[in-house]
């Protein structure tokens, strides 16, 4: 495939490396340094675009790809307040888009098992739960999109909780969750690629379910695999739809 990259920071460069390793070609790259060139670049020279830009740029990038009938994989998070609007536009215009908070195979297995664990422990009211996430200091959004996906998986099954709230360590804002609220605790620490932990705690014991990323490579490889999966498909997809854990 010929792939266009929207965002060419650390993730964009990793995606380029894995795309070439898997036999693909990079048609063009757009980032903050050459953003004004996006109108002059022939977007249709690419078969698909992969977006790892910023929350502010992602919505414009999605719209631009829809206008040029270009399938797009979106790994940027922080824009999900507009998710239903983007989905409606994609479906109405018969476009192709796949989005996800995390493209790592291991994380998507984690998402699946997280839901099973939440369903299993939900009847036992002596356990309270919270989500903890640690990322590098350059991450623009808190909580992470991955943490939100984890929290939403818990809320689907955990009948005592119906909403999540976020506490960003070091922000100076004290957040005390109500009984019906699931706490997501966020920490920004140096160059940590991403660590996510779900805790179920009672007076007598604690269950800890954890995923630790050793690098960003799993995210980059997963994004290229997602692009390979999306080409030839029409519609609006989540990254979880690439995986079939029900076999």
In degrees rounded to 5, what are phi and psi of residue 29? -130, 140
Please identify every residue annotated as catalytic: 135, 139
d(CA 171, CA 135): 15
Q: Longest C-alpha distance within the chain, in Å?
A: 63
């Amino acid at each position: 495939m010929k792939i266009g990259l929207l965002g060419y920071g650390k993730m964009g460069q990793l995606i380029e490396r894995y795309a070439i390793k898997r036999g693909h070609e990079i048609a063009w790259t757009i980032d903050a340094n050459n953003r004004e060139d996006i109108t002059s670049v022939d977007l249709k020279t690419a078969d698909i675009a992969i977006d790892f830009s910023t929350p502010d740029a992602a919505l414009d990038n999605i719209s631009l790809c829809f206008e040029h009938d270009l399938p797009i994989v979106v790994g940027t998070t922080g824009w999900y307040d507009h998710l239903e609007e983007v989905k409606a536009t994609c479906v109405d215009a018969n476009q192709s888009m796949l989005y996800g908070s995390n493209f790592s195979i291991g994380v998507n297995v984690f998402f699946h098992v997280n839901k099973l664990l939440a369903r299993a422990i939900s009847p036992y009211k002596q356990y309270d739960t919270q989500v903890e996430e640690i990322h590098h200091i350059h991450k623009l959004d808190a909580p992470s999109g991955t943490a939100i996906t984890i929290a939403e998986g818990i809320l689907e099954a955990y009948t005592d909780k119906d909403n999540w709230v976020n506490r960003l360590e070091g922000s100076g804002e004290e957040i005390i969750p109500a009984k019906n609220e699931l706490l997501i605790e966020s920490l920004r620490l140096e160059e940590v690629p991403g660590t996510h932990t779900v805790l179920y705690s009672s007076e007598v014991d604690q269950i800890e379910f954890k995923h630790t990323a050793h690098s960003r490579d799993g995210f980059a490889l997963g994004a290229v695999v997602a692009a390979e999966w999306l080409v030839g498909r029409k519609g609006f997809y989540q990254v979880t739809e690439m995986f079939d854990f029900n076999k």
